Homo-oligomer: A and B are copies of this chain.
Amino acid sequence: MLEFAILGLLQESPMHGYELRKELTAKLGAIRAAISYGSLYPTLRRLQAAGWITEAAETSATAEEVPALTSRRGRVVYKITAEGKERFAQLIAQAGPETYDDTGFGVHFAFFARTDQATRLRILEGRRRKIEERREGLRDVLGRAAERLDAYTLELQRHGLDACEREVRWLEELIANERSGRAPTVPNIGTAGGRREDNSPPPPGETRNERP
C-alpha cells in the first residue's frame, strides 16, 4: 500500500521523506492517520533497491567542497524512474481483492486520477460488493444473535451498519457517475520523461454537489 502511494506521489514531483509524509497525510487524511517513519524510510530503501526510485542529490553546487565539518547529511530527494512508473501502472492493473479493504480501497481511490476508467469501475464495484457483504453480516448479527450481545455491542453494530449503508449509497453514486460518460482517460502513464506540471488531472466531472 505504502509502495503504491509513494510511487503515485513521486509522479507528481520529486520529494524527500519528510515532504512525502506531509503530502501523503494530506492526500490520505480521510482514511488513515499519518504514515509512520518506521515504515516510510524502510519502504523508500526497498523501492530504491528495486530500481523504482532514485536519489537525486539536493542542489549539488560544489558538491565535494565541504567534506568534513559534521559531514552535513542534508535532505535526500527521491524521484521515480521509468521502471517505477511501469511498476505503478502494473499495481493499478492488478487491483485484486486486497484492493477492497478499507485502506487499500482508499489509497487506490486517491489515485483514481491516474487510473483508467475500466479499472476505476472494477475497483468501485469490488468495494461495493465487499461492503455489501459486511453489511449483510452485521444485519445477521443484529437479527439472529441480538439477544446474545449486550446493548453497547449492539449499538456498535448498528453504527457500523449505518456506515455500511451510507458507503454503499456513495459507491452507487460514483459508479453511476463513472458509467455515464464523463470518464476521462488517464493522461500520462508509462512513457517516461517530459516535465511535469500536471496539476490539473482530468476532473471526473462534478462528482457531487457542493457543500452549502
Contacts and interface: CB of A to CB of B under 8 A. Distances in A.
A31 interface: yes
Contact of A152 (B110, B138, B211): B110
A70 interface: no
A96 to B, nearest CB: 16
- The binding surface of chain A is classed by DSSP as helix
Interface string A50-82: 000000000000000000000000000000000
A163 interface: yes
Contacts of A205: 151
B113 A211 contact: no
Interface string A2-42: 00000000000000000000000011011101000000000
Interface stretch (A87-95, A154-162, A188-196): A154-162
Contacts of A101: 33
A200 B149 CA distance: 8
A27 B27 CA distance: 32
Contacts of A163: 30, 163, 166
Nearest to A157: B30
Contacts of A137: 29
Contacts of A158: 208, 211
A158 B26 CA distance: 13
Contact of A153 (B33, B113, B141, B155): B113
A203 B26 contact: no
A49 interface: no
16 contacts: A26-B145, A26-B149, A27-B149, A29-B137, A30-B156, A33-B101, A33-B134, A109-B152, A109-B156, A110-B156, A113-B153, A150-B202, A151-B207, A152-B201, A152-B204, A152-B207
